[in-house]
Amino acid sequence: MIDSVQNSNFDTRFDKKTRSLFKQDNKSKSKKKKMVESDLDQDNLFKKKNKSKVTVNTQDDLVNKIEVPFKSNKLRKKEKVKQKSNINSYDSHITNGLSSGFNTVTDNINKYVLIDSPLSIEELSSKLQIPPAEIIMGLFLQGISVTINQIIDISIATQVAEKYNCIVLNQNHEQESEQSDKLQEISSAANINRAPIVTILGHVDHGKTTLLDAIRNTNFAGNEIGGITQAISVYEVNWLHNLSNKKLIFIDTPGHQAFSTIRLRCAQITDIVILIVAADDDLKPQTIEVIDYILSKKIPCVVAINKIDKVDINLTRLKSQLADYNITSKDWGGKIEFVEISALKKINIDKLLTSICCLADSINLKADPTQLAQGIILEAYVDKTKGIVANMVVLNGTLHIGDVIVSGNSYGRVKKIINSLGNELVEAEPSSNLKVLGFYSMPTVGTYFHVVNNEKEAKKSVARIRSSSITKNTKNLLKSNSKFYNTNTKNLNLIVKADTQGTIDAIINLLMQIPQKKIQLNILTASLGVVSNTDLDLAYSTQGVIIAFNIDISTNILNAAEKLDIPLYKFVLIYDLIDHITNYMLNLIDTEYEKYLIGQAEVQTTFSVNKGTVAGCIVKSGKLKKSAFMHVYRNNHLIYEGVINSLKRMKNDTDEVNVGNECGVLCEAYHLWQPKDSIKAYELHEKPKTL
């Protein structure tokens, strides 16, 4: 550039113009200087007249007194924007450093960013203060194809943040750990004995719901869709023990592998576990999972061996298997009560309930009804007429109508309290199973709730708690499944709608277990309630599939989905949902074929016809078949792959030519035959599709 400038001849007229421009600029500078000097003189006069008065100069006044060269309005605007961005980045740097417990640094090169869970591109963009398009483009150049709403794992988010000189913090602030000690200590002066919470846990089809039917003289098991439990059910039972009525709270849990989150949630709050096993079956994975809960949390337990009325049972073998997992009966020198029952024929049900009452007496459960209510949210859903309904158990204190209740990042004022019998209550004491109306937003299942004095206190409590919404819950469930996205991988976008949050957890758990090497599942939204027009718009714009589980779909929505050609499927059984998604993914996979060699031929000569060039060949081994797949080799190098469109033998069309015979081979897409070319013919057999 220096050489080019030295060798160039500038036009003298242009040089004169530049000189005149410089002169004008100098004039404007001198004018500006005079104006500033006059302003300063006036300011000095003002100070002399007002010596006793205190004068305050604004920032703008101070800036105007500084001697600066003349700048255009555009340049001034650009500088203001630059200053603001620098101030904002500096402020965010300081606040991030203080909130994370780090000392703030004097330079503004790096800033602290907390990334402790998978997050979407949009959320990462707001944290880094970088346009999402820039992040998407950067990942695309690395072979990672993402959208603005797509969730990426911690490693990818960290990689992006470090690229922009951000110091990544990965401290884990899980809300569950924060809330583990939220229950207040019970006052010894006003405490009372409370009813035990008894959770029935075990493998699917081992008789959990049938046992509750036997205890309550009901028939819920016969009315369950597909014969399996798919949600939490809570019941209150009164049993005569030692000449007094003993209240027991029973929780029925799903036994299917998909509902592990629900089972863990119930294990967190239970006082006693009934481990139910079938006498005609071995220990199953879900039974072993329950045993791990019991032993790790040291939960008092009673083992109910069900189906003793059947013929082919082996109780000794079953007890031995349980003993291998440190669940040993008192008969064998252990500390756990084993009760042999038949839920179907109601054998030894009274003995089981007596064992539970004795175990509850030995635990000596206490609660303080004078305290503000505390407990746990077991389930939450949206009712069309009632609004948000929370299924909860009060663990301590008394809940009243009008109480301000807080759970996670949700709060509300209690409008209605409905007990397990469907009766409305004014107040509810400890160990009560309730349906509560009044939350302003959907509470997160599995979180503790507590009553506060007023809404102002509730708002402060919510503001302190980090995000724990259903989106966060979905991210945690998808955490292990987040990975690099290949641009060649096909995607299936899903919009999940369900009746309860527990069901959504179970659906996502099962979706995670589907292999996704060939088809990547993208859960765009997972929410409660009915399918809306917003869901249809999202599905239409993303070519997504709407999955509705155990909810009603209006005729208007069905008609609109049909007009827009949006796949909309409704399910009431979780098995059917997963099977359908698996088959849908299989249909998206391109068909693959297995090639079987059937013959080889060598080109002897070539000649032209109306349709192209024909290769005159002799079959060296096997046979050639019409419509067979072929490879053409020249000097042992593969030069073409295609299909044999026509075979001729003695000028007649034929379907196949066997070894030792001459034939003419025509391929409509290939005409560059040469003598000595080698042909290998294959039969294609379709491979079974796998994920």
Most confident of 261-270, 444-453, 506-515: 444-453
Q: What's the pLDDT at 100?
A: 36
Q: pLDDT averaged over the chain?
A: 76
Q: What's the pLDDT at 610?
A: 82
Structure-token match 């996502």, residue found: 508
Q: What's the pLDDT at 79?
A: 52
DSSP state letter for 271: S
For 444-505, the three-class secondary structure string (H helix, E strand, C coil) is CCCCEEEEECCHHHHHHHHHHCCCCCHHHHHHHHCHHHCCCCCCCCEEEEEEEEECCHHHHH
Tell whether the model's pLDDT for residue 197 goes beyond 80.
yes
Tell whether the model's pLDDT for residue 550 goes beyond 80.
yes
Tell whether the model's pLDDT for residue 66 goes beyond 50.
no
Identical topology for domains 192-366 and 490-588? yes
Handedness of CA 336, 339, 340, 343 (dihedral sign): negative
CA distance 385 to 416: 13
Strand, coil or helix: 201: strand
Q: What's the pLDDT at 144?
A: 81
CA distance 371 to 397: 5
pLDDT band at 568; cut points 50, 70, 90: very high
Under 8 Å between Cβ of 405 and 439? yes
Tell whether the model's pLDDT for residue 338 goes beyond 70.
yes
* Mean pLDDT computed over 217-228: 51
The lowest-confidence range among 160-169, 312-321, 500-509, 651-660 is: 500-509
State phi, psi for 585 to the nearest 5 degrees: -65, -40
* Mean pLDDT computed over 538-551: 90
Q: What's the pLDDT at 435?
A: 92
pLDDT band at 34; cut points 50, 70, 90: very low
Q: What's the pLDDT at 255?
A: 47
The CATH number of the domain covering residues in 374-473 = 2.40.30.10
Q: Flag whether the pTM goes above 0.85.
A: no
Most confident of 67-81, 178-192, 616-630: 616-630
DSSP string, 547-583: EEES----HHHHHHHHHTT--EEEESSHHHHHHHHHH
Name residue 7's amino acid. Answer: N
Q: Which of 3.40.50.300, 3.40.50.12160, 1.10.10.1800, 3.50.50.60 would CATH assign to domain 192-366? A: 3.40.50.300
Q: What's the pLDDT at 88?
A: 46
By percentage, how much of the chain surpasses pLDDT 70? Answer: 73
Q: What's the pLDDT at 413?
A: 95
The lowest-confidence range among 46-50, 113-117, 543-547 is: 46-50
DSSP state letter for 66: S
Q: What's the pLDDT at 185?
A: 52
Which residue has better confidence, 28 or 246?
246
Structure-token match 């955490």, residue found: 479
DSSP state letter for 670: B
Tell whether the model's pLDDT for residue 97 goes beyond 80.
no
The CATH number of the domain covering residues in 490-588 = 3.40.50.10050
pLDDT band at 128; cut points 50, 70, 90: confident
By percentage, how much of the chain surpasses pLDDT 90? Answer: 26
CA distance 321 to 317: 6
State phi, psi for 685 to the nearest 5 degrees: -115, 125
CA distance 33 to 386: 73
Strand, coil or helix: 317: helix
Q: What is the pLDDT of residues 452-508, one digit of tens each?
A: 999 999 988 887 764 444 444 444 444 434 443 444 568 899 999 988 877 887 788
Q: What's the pLDDT at 230?
A: 53
The CATH number of the domain covering residues in 593-686 = 2.40.30.10
Both tokens assigned to 65 = 């007194």
pLDDT band at 236; cut points 50, 70, 90: confident
Which residue has better confidence, 231 or 665?
665
State phi, psi for 197 to the nearest 5 degrees: -95, 115
Which residue has better confidence, 90 or 647?
647
Nearest to 441 by CA among 505, 516, 390, 492: 390
Neighbouring CB atoms inside 10 A of 222's CB total 10
The lowest-confidence range among 13-27, 538-552, 579-593 is: 13-27
Strand, coil or helix: 546: strand
Q: What's the pLDDT at 264?
A: 67
Q: What's the pLDDT at 7?
A: 43
Domain ranges for the chain, please list them: 111-169, 192-366, 374-473, 490-588, 593-686
Structure-token match 């160039």, residue found: 8
pLDDT band at 31; cut points 50, 70, 90: very low
Tell whether the model's pLDDT for residue 620 goes beyond 70.
yes
Q: What is the pLDDT of residues 402-438, one digit of tens each?
A: 999 999 888 999 999 998 888 899 999 888 889 999 9
Q: What's the pLDDT at 120?
A: 81
The lowest-confidence range among 66-80, 286-300, 519-533 is: 66-80
Tell whether the model's pLDDT for residue 81 goes beyond 80.
no
The lowest-confidence range among 137-146, 301-310, 434-443, 546-555 is: 137-146
List all residues 6 or more positions away from 321 whose beta carbon is below 8 Å from its beta carbon: 282, 283
Both tokens assigned to 288 = 């072993």
